[in-house]
Structure 1
Amino acid sequence: MPQLTVALDMMGGDFGPPVTVPAAAQALSLLPDLHLHLFGSRAALSPWLERCNLTAHERVRVHYCTQQVTNEHKAGYALRHLPDSSMCRALNALSAGEAQACVSGGNTGALMAMAIKVVQTLPGVDRPALITRLPQADGSHALLLDVGANVCCDAGQLVQFARMGDAVARHVLSQQNPRVMLLNVGAESNKGYEAVRQAARRLNELPALNYQGYIEGNDLFAGTAEVIVCDGFVGNVALKTSEGVARLLLGAGKKRGFWWTLLGVWLKRRLSHLNPDQYNGASLIGLRSSVVKSHGSAGSPAFLNAILQAVVETEHQLPAKIAHLFDTAPQDSHAR
């Protein structure tokens, strides 16, 4: 395997270099074989590189950029007019083979559009999907996709998401026969909108998948599935609602009385595995190389986890495994 190198968009997210540079420094200290290409504004990046002793680090290459993608930029505008942005330059390094993975906390729509154009999707994949881990009651993890890349999906895309999610569960979570379920408003076969019902019928016809039917929102953390499939609108709402509840519970006791403080300490010990920072890093799967989207509001520990997620995917050669799946597995007979 070639040298392990990850390209980082240092300007993405709500905070930029004050978060991304310390995370990069910690990643380098944890992984002695890791090399990083850092992309960002000279004015914003240089002081933090000096502060974290990365200015002349032997495993770091710094690339200064003159543009930045912000949350206000529409995807089409960013694609056409911001070629020297830290996001675009990092993806170009990935496409050129200078890195094996890319991490950005920037604008999701722009990242998706640029990744499709620059990195390109795998043969047989219509659209990449954002996939993330969810903690389960039994201590295991489930995968949820899509969590925001594709707001509206047809049945064929949902089937593709299921197949890609199955591959991630097998190769990253080491699940031998992952249970695949569709997130729906009920467990009955007649529930949900037409695309979900069509996807269910198609998944039942794929013997290579361990499809188990519908799962409802109240069972997302129950340990009843390893792969949970939905469109990006539903997935993003489910994910952010879950994160909000976790932060509410983990923050219990703040600015309150003595007993609330004790409750907060107890909850943090019992529910520490629910901390959303541990699961930061939603991967855009279905691309020719690994692209990981960090949460825009992530702090340094969370951005570090996104970098580590990119490393894990690279070590498992996940894009190649998914490509092989689409080359060899029995095809969806209804696929376009």
Structure 2
Amino acid sequence: MKIGLDIMGGDYAPKATVLGAIEASKVLLDNQKLVLIGNKELALPLIEEAGVSPSIFDFVHTTDVINMGEHPTKAISQKPKASISLGFHLLKEGAIDSFSSAGNTGAMLVGAMFSVKTIPGVIRPAIATNVPRLKEGFSILLDVGANADCKPEVLLQFGILGSLYSRHIYETQTPAVALLNIGEEEEKGNMLTVAAHSLMKNSNTINFIGNIEGRDLFEDHVDVIVCDGFTGNVVLKLAESFYSLTLKKGFKDDFFDRFNYEQYGGSPILGVNAPVIIGHGISSPEAIKNMILLSRNMIESKFVDKVKAAFK
């Protein structure tokens, strides 16, 4: 197994990414190798300072980087030697089994769609994230930013992708899928959600339980929450603020602690032909470690093969 990591992506790269890779290496098995993509000359002193042998990693050296503010499509095409571009080239060629980065989110999405491409039958890939449930565990929310505008059939497919992810990554036997809406009744919402509700209700591929409202997001009876990427991104950014607010207010709570992005590391792009994980721009070493472990889990579970079979 070869797990690819862009060590130049993120606000605190390469220090945070390299230290995260070192922590992840401590729990990886001998046949699970990390491939570090980026400036080897900057990485080596960090590795040696940590008292670790560089031989535990494979390296793909490059000094070129796609910065956070760059236009994704232009950067991918004009910077073929950038760490993100090289990562997707290696993924496409099968030299690595997964690729993750805390760098430019748009470049990660464009790179995935241009290199490994969308799985046949999937209309649009989606970015998924974890939503803490009140008692324990997480629900899956998608899409959280890849598709600001959606069609009803795309939302149905998000339900299928999220259900597969919940089943094979979180081992939920029969994931309960809900549509995020402004009311629980079937007729509530806009043209998109009304039409999507009808499609999801009549689908035999998901366990659809109907609409939920924003106040139901953190309840324990929902495993997969479906919405368009515009709505999902607003919800995600609001939820991310909860953890930082608890720290500022000086109180500690198990539920709000689970809003800490570090615990789950990154957000997978579901619906493409290889495991691709997008990390938070402010990723710490702990977040990078967990992003790597999520990559490992997606490879081990053969998640992409499960999606291909479902959409065949």
Using structure 2 for the length normalisation, give the TM-score.
Answer: 0.95
Which one of the candidate residues 184, 206, 210 is aligned to 1:209? 206
Which one of the candidate residues 49, 52, 71 is aligned to 2:50? 52
Hey, what does 2:134 align to over in structure 1? 137
Hey, what does 2:97 align to over in structure 1? 100
Q: 1:269 to 1:288 in 2, by over 3 A?
A: closer
CA distance in 2, matches of 1:287, 1:214: 27
Hey, what does 2:75 align to over in structure 1? 78
Q: 1:108 to 1:28 in 2, by over 3 A?
A: same
Shift of 1:92: 1.4
Hey, what does 2:125 align to over in structure 1? 128
- Please say which of residues 21-30 and 125-134 is displaced more in the overlay: 125-134
Q: Is this contact kept in 1: 2:102–2:279, CA < 8 A?
A: yes
Question: Residue type matched to 2:28 in 1?
Answer: L
Which one of the candidate residues 294, 297, 310 is aligned to 1:312? 297
Correspondence 1:287 to 2:284:
no
Q: Which has the larger radius of gyration?
A: 1
Correspondence 1:236 to 2:233:
yes
CA distance in 2, matches of 1:196, 1:216: 12
5+ residue gaps, structure 2 = none
CA distance in 1, matches of 2:79, 2:86: 10
CA distance in 2, matches of 1:77, 1:49: 33
Question: Residue type matched to 2:209 in 1?
Answer: Q
Which one of the candidate residues 155, 160, 183 is aligned to 1:158? 155
Output the aligned Cα RMSD: 1.6
Q: Is this contact kept in 2: 1:142–1:228, CA < 8 A?
A: yes
CA distance in 2, matches of 1:302, 1:251: 21
Correspondence 1:13 to 2:31:
no
Q: Is this contact kept in 2: 1:105–1:294, CA < 8 A?
A: yes
Correspondence 1:273 to 2:258:
yes
CA distance in 1, matches of 2:14, 2:99: 16
CA distance in 1, matches of 2:43, 2:135: 42
Alignment identity in percent? 34
- The residue matched to 1:123 in structure 2 has which SS? coil
CA distance in 1, matches of 2:83, 2:47: 16
- The residue matched to 1:30 in structure 2 has which SS? coil
CA distance in 1, matches of 2:236, 2:53: 37
Q: 1:47 to 1:132 in 2, by over 3 A?
A: same
Question: Residue type matched to 1:115 in 2?
Answer: A
5+ residue gaps, structure 1 = 254-263, 328-336
Question: Residue type matched to 1:36 in 2?
Answer: L
CA distance in 2, matches of 1:247, 1:132: 18
Shift of 1:47: 3.0
Shift of 1:113: 0.6
Aligned residues: 311
Question: Residue type matched to 1:289 in 2?
Answer: A
